[in-house]
A and B are shown apart, each in its own frame.
Chain A
Amino acid sequence: MRLAVVDDDNDVRTALSRLLSVMGHEVSAFASAEALEAGAVVVDCAIVDIRLPGRSGFEVREWLRNLQPPIPAVLISGDGHRLARDESLVLEGPLVTKPFDADSLATAIRIAMSNAKSGPERHVLF
């Protein structure tokens, strides 16, 4: 699978990219929403940190959803969903809380991709 990782934290981005590649994926990593847009890569799924400098993970997910074809997204968060003004944003798609197991992440990616095919279902993973 071709995956994008968007996280401004160098350590997290490096570790997550390493894990996904040893799991057999092709990974492109970005430090911000803006870098992702500028990167213009074609991916099957994006793993996006909610808390980003500039535009947030929620906005990135929205942007990805509006692409043609849309790209599914998994949100990752360091402090849960505390910061969302609108709780429905949190429930809209798969979200994993740092630190997470490799399996949980794999499951979240799967769900995001199946949602993209069959229309959104509401899942929250902790």
Chain B
Amino acid sequence: MSSSDRFQRATAAGGVGVWDWNLATGEVYVDPLVKGRLGYEDDEVRNDAESWSRLLHPDDLAGAATRAKAHIGGQTPVYEAEHRMLHRDGSMRWFLARGAVTRDDQGTAISMVGTLTDITDWKRSEAALRQAEELNRTIVENTRDCVKILTLDGRLLHINAVGLRQLDLTDAAPLLNQPLAGFFEGEIRRAAENAIEQARLGGRGQFQYPLGTVSGRAKWWDAVITPIKDADGAVSQLLGVSREVTDRRREESFRAAQHQLLEMIASGTPLLSVLDNLVRLVESQFDGMVCTVLLLDEDGVTVRHGAAPSLPPEYVTGINGLTIGPRAGSCGTAMYRGERVIVSDILTDPLWEGYREVAVQFGLRACWSTPIFSPQRKVLGSLAMYYRESRTPGAEELWLIDTAADLARIAIEQQRAYLEADAHRRELAHLSRVNMLGEMSGALAHELSQPLAAMLSNAYAARYLLDRDPIDVEQLRATLDDIIRNDKRAGTVIDSLRSLLRKGETAPRQPVDVNELTREVLELASGELIARRVRVKSTLPPTMPSVLGDRVQLQQVVLNLVLNACDAMTATDVSQRQMVLATANDGGFVQLVVSDHGPGIPDGQLQRVFEPFVTFREQGLGLGLAISRSILTAHGGSILAENNADGGATFRCFLPVAPAIDPIVVN
């Protein structure tokens, strides 16, 4: 291989060709390889300066000529120019031309020899890089995110304009080279340090931080820290991108609060308390907004107070009992029309004629109200937003009104369902009590006839005593005292019967001593127990915590269990007819146990005994235990049935211990 061949190969590989320009003749030799790069065969481009220069990009021709002249004129040590050349297919290719002149003895340039290197690929990647850089810069400076570049140890190298604005700064200088985590404290500082460490190790770190703004309301930012790797793949710097997430956080906290409200509703929290919480939640979403809920009576016209924690009590009393109508403020009208009513200025809106004064008194100017509907489209009430300035609602506020009205609907419906179920349960409990007392009527008559018999005998005795001479005053007094005592005894029996026969109204729960209650029931049932030859062994500890409850309903539960135990032992030998009644303090619960010596509950029926209409007795509706269980459940308690190892059944009732009440200090 000749040296010339070797050169050819070498240059071919690098896209480099030689050229030789005879300055005297204008003849230009151009390497066929370069011609090939432009899509021509060697003989298709003539070897003269004119033909060659036609292939140069017109915009680059002047530049190349100037540089060539300068070199020929001796002003530059080498000729060097980057210029585009036209490919046969119309595309452009970039070349780097380098060359040097050869001079004669007089110093006149006679020729210039050099290389042409195809740098198109390099040029392209350079352009791409510049474009990418420009794109990056545009993104970084125009994004709504805050972009930071950090050193490996978390110091700030660069922060974009958004980041500066976020900090109310115009100049980044005071921040540069400061540790990022140092801007925060406590939990958030630890989270920031942790995120930086994650990124430094090649992972992805994330933390959230609040920043106060001029308006005073903190905005929340979510920062993601990722590693920036160098060509070798080693982490060289860290990239931090923070995005404002205030809305998202608000949405999340709203959703959490919504969830909490639903839980309150489900757990039977009183309606007014649920509504109060709902209204406070709504108010927390917008500055300066006042929210209220009104309830519509079953009569469909009378307005009742629901919740208005931000308005004074005079407002509440003023609203209570008003009637709805076609011009009854925002709420009264919304409930009347069954559609949303937006009043942006109370001072001028005709709907507020007649109510304006109240609004002015409490400084209310705008009121948007939406009716709360039942699924059957019955109006249950209304939910309203008030502002202290004239205003129309935005989309977000309307969404919030609708969402809150829906929550209010659930709360109201739940409450109504609860009240209905409660009334139903009381009704059933009453029926069951009447039924139970009917079964015991003989024993109860006995209970009453004892004091009556004593009174009558004493009265006859007193008459005999009066007929004596002299009158035994002492004995007469003792006799009359006995009459009085027995009259009172009869009264007590009648009282307890009356309370058991009374239809239970919604009485406030009161503290009940289960031991005392058990003794009263045994007293009431004593006649029945004797008649049935049932002996009772009761174990009542001297002190027991109270439970909160409806005394009559709890009496009913115990009486039902006692009578059931008697019934269970009808076929039991008289010597074995023993019932055990015991109470115990069982870690937060008062436990009441009633145990008999009957045949026990048939296999597989232990759970079924609490179902309605399931009975193993010849008489009885089979409602007693079902009602007992519903009473205990309504008291937050429960009941279990089990069979004893030595025969018979045991029923265990659990009632939560009443919360301790702080003693009231009386001055």
List A residues at the B interface (Cβ < 8 Å): 8-9, 11-12, 14-16, 18-19, 22-23, 51-53, 76-80, 82-83, 97-102
Contacts and interface: CB of A to CB of B under 8 A. Distances in A.
Contacts of B527: 51, 78-79
13 contacts: A11-B450, A11-B482, A11-B485, A12-B453, A14-B454, A15-B457, A16-B457, A19-B457, A19-B461, A51-B530, A51-B531, A78-B449, A101-B460
B456 A101 contact: yes
Given A53-B530, A101-B460, A22 B450 contact: no
Interface string B255-285: 0000000000000000000000000000000
B70 interface: no
Interface string B459-485: 011001100100000010001001001
B457 A78 contact: no
Given A53-B530, A100-B453, 6 more contacts: A9-B450, A15-B457, A18-B475, A51-B446, A98-B449, A102-B464
Which residue, of A11, A16, A97, has the highest number of chain B Cβ atoms within 10 A? A11
A76 B454 CA distance: 12
A9 B447 CA distance: 10
Q: Secondary structure of the B side of the interface?
A: helix
B461 A12 contact: no
Contacts of A77: 446
Interface string B479-512: 1001001100100000000000000000000000
Interface in B298-333: none
A11 B489 contact: yes
A76 B446 CA distance: 11
A22 B454 contact: no
B446 A15 contact: no
Contacts of A8: 530
Contacts of A82: 442
B458 A15 contact: yes
Interface of B: 442-443, 445-447, 449-458, 460-461, 464-465, 468, 475, 479, 482, 485-486, 489, 527, 530-531
Please name the 6 residue pairs, one residue from A and one from B, whose CB atoms are nearest each other, closest first. Answer: A78-B446, A98-B453, A15-B457, A102-B460, A22-B464, A99-B456
Contacts of A23: 464
Contact of A79 (B445, B458, B464, B482): B445
B527 to A, nearest CB: 7
A77 B263 CA distance: 59
A111 to B, nearest CB: 19
A16 B446 CA distance: 16
A15 B531 contact: no
A35 B527 CA distance: 20
Contacts of A79: 442-443, 445-446, 449, 527, 531
A18 B443 contact: no
Nearest to A23: B464
Given A12-B454, A14-B482, A79-B445, A19 B530 contact: no
Contact of A98 (B452, B464, B485, B530): B452
A34 to B, nearest CB: 14
Contacts of B475: 18
B530 A52 contact: yes
Nearest to A22: B464
B442 A83 contact: yes
A11 B446 contact: no
A53 B447 CA distance: 15
B383 to A, nearest CB: 61
Contacts of A99: 449, 452-453, 455-457
A16 B527 CA distance: 19
A78 B454 CA distance: 11
Nearest to B478: A18
Contact of B445 (A16, A53, A78, A101): A78
B456 A11 contact: no
Nearest to A98: B453
A7 B434 CA distance: 30
Which residue, of B447, B454, B482, has the highest number of chain A Cβ atoms within 10 A? B454
